[in-house]
A and B are shown apart, each in its own frame.
Chain A
C-alpha cells in the first residue's frame, strides 16, 4: 500500500486565491488512483507516479480543474508520515506551494 493512500486536506494557490481541496488516493493492486474535490467539483487524477524516497514517497500527477477557473495542473509532492508538501504548476506560471495533512481514519 502506498504511503499516499488515504484522504488528505490540501491547500493550493491559484492566480485568483487559495483553494482548499480534499484528495483521496487509493491503491488498487499497485496501481495508484485518486480524485480531487474542491469547490463542489470532483476531478480524477491522471498519470500518477509514485517513487520511494528516504523517509516517504515522491508522488507526481496531473489534473484539471474548472473551479475557480479552468486550469491544467502538474503536481510534484513528497509524502512523509501524515504530511505532504511540494508544488503545483500550471503551464508556464510560477510554481505554487502545496501543503497537505492526512485526515485521521
Chain B
C-alpha cells in the first residue's frame, strides 16, 4: 500500500506535512506496510511551496497504478489581488496546478478501484477546477466553498467528507484529521488512536458521508 502526497509549485506546507507525518507514524504502527512518499507529477526533485520559500523534495513521480492513497494539498499565497495584473493568488495557483500533467494522472487514479484520492484544503478546489469531481460530495477551505459549489460540486460543511474513492478535508489543519481518518479506514481505530496519542491530537468533528437520515429543519 502506498500513500503518495503530491507536491506542486505553491503548495501549502502544512497541508502536505500534516498527513505526511500522520501517515508515516501510522505506517510505523503497522510495521512499515504503508509506503509514504512525496511525489510530483513530472519528475522527482525539489518543489517550492507557497510559504516563505520552504522547499520539500519529491522522491518519486505520481503513479496512479500504485494501490493506496493519493493526497493532494492546497496552495499557499495571497487571497487578494488581481489575477489580470499577475497576482498569484491562491485560486490562480490552484488553477495552474489544475492545468498540469497531474490532472490526467489523477483522472487515472479515480478510475483505479485500488486507489483513494484524498485532498486537504484547496486541493479539492484544484480537482474541481479541472472538472474531475463534478457532482461529488466534497469540502475545501471555508474561503473556497462558494467557488467549489460554483464548479458543480456538492459542497459539504464538515471537517472530513468521505465520498468513497474521494475523501476531502477542510482547511490546513484538517490534514491531521484526514490522515487519522485514512489510517482508521485502512488499518482500524487502534492504529489511528496510537498515532493520536503520539501526536497529542484528537481527531475533530464528524466525518460526513452521504448516508443515513436527513436532518429536519429545526
Asked if B147 is an interface residue, CB under 8 A from chain A, the answer is yes
Contact A90 B150 (CB under 8 A): yes
Residues in A with CB closer than 8 Å to B131 are 66, 70
Interface size grouping (class) on chain B: 10 to 19
Min CB distance, A66 to chain B, in Å?
A: 5
Does B146 make an interface contact (CB < 8 A)? Answer: yes
**Which positions in B face A, CB cutoff 8 Å?**
83-84, 89, 91-92, 95, 98, 128-131, 134, 146-147, 149-152
Asked if B150 contacts A16 (CB within 8 A), the reply is no
Q: Are B150 and A92 in contact, CB atoms less than 8 angstroms apart?
A: yes
Size band of the interface chain A makes with B? 10 to 19
- Using CB atoms, name the residue of chain B closest to A89: B150
Is A30 an interface residue, CB under 8 A from the partner?
no
Of B92, B130, B134, the residue contacting A16 (CB under 8 A) is B92
Query: Which residues of chain A come closer than 8 Å to B151, judged between CB atoms?
Result: 69-72
Q: How far is the CB of A16 from chain B (nearest CB, A)?
A: 4
Task: Please judge, given known A-B contacts A70-B129, A70-B131, A70-B152, whether A93 and B92 are in contact too, CB under 8 Å.
Answer: no
Given contacts A70-B151, A70-B152, A72-B151, contact A91 B130 (CB under 8 A): no
